[in-house]
Amino acid sequence: MTGPAGSGSAPGGSRLRENWARLTAPGRVAGVDLARGLAVIGMLAAHLLWLQEPVDLLDPSTWGAVAAGRSSILFATLAGVSMGIVTGGARPVGGDDLRRARGRLAVRAGILFAIGFVFVALSLPVIVILPAYALMFVLALPFLPLRAPALFAIAAGLAVVMPFVHAWLDRMPFARTVVGHDLGLLVGWHYPFIVWIAFVLAGLAVARAGVARLRVQLWMLVGGTALAALGYGLGTTGAPRSAEAGSYWADVWTARAHSSGVLEVIGSGGFALAALAVCLLLCRTPLTWVVLPIRATGAMPLSAYVGQLVALTVMLSVSFGELSALGALRDRDPFWSFTLVTVAACTAWALLVGRGPLEWLTHKLERAAVPDSPGG
96 CB-near residues (< 8 Å, 6+ apart) = none
Q: How far does Cα 345 stand from its chain's mean position?
A: 20
pLDDT at residue 112 greater than cutoff 70: yes
Are residues 205 and 148 in contact, defined by beta-carbon separation less than 8 angstroms? yes
Cα Rg of the chain, angstroms: 20
Q: Which whole number is the average pLDDT over 302-316?
A: 93
CA 221 to chain centre: 19
Structure confidence by residue, pLDDT tens digits, 254-276: 988 888 999 999 999 999 999 99
Q: How many CA atoms lie within 13 A of 142 on its CB side?
A: 4
Give 375 or 174, the one with higher predicted confidence.
Answer: 174
CA distances, 346 to each of 40, 142, 295, 298, 300 (Å): 11, 33, 9, 9, 7
Sorted by sequence, the CB contacts under 8 Å of residue 77 that are 6+ apart come out as 199, 200, 202, 203, 206, 269, 272, 273, 276
What value does the mean pLDDT take over residues 311-327? 89
Mean pLDDT of the chain: 89
State residue 76 phi and psi, 5-degree precision.
-65, -40
Q: How far apart are CA 13 and CA 20, in angstroms?
A: 10
Percent of the chain at pLDDT exceeding 90: 65
Query: In whole angstroms, what is the distance from residue 320 CA to residue 326 CA?
Result: 9
What's the pLDDT tens digit per position in 46-93? 889 887 766 666 666 666 677 777 899 999 999 999 999 999 999 999
Residue 307 CB partners (closer than 8 Å, separation 6+) = 342, 345
Using the 8-state DSSP alphabet, how is residue 243 labeled? P
For residues 376 and 374, give the distance between their C-alpha atoms in angstroms, rounded to a whole number. 6
The DSSP string of 92-112 is ---HHHHHHHHHHHHHHHHHH
How many Cα atoms sit within 13 Å of 261 on the Cβ side?
22
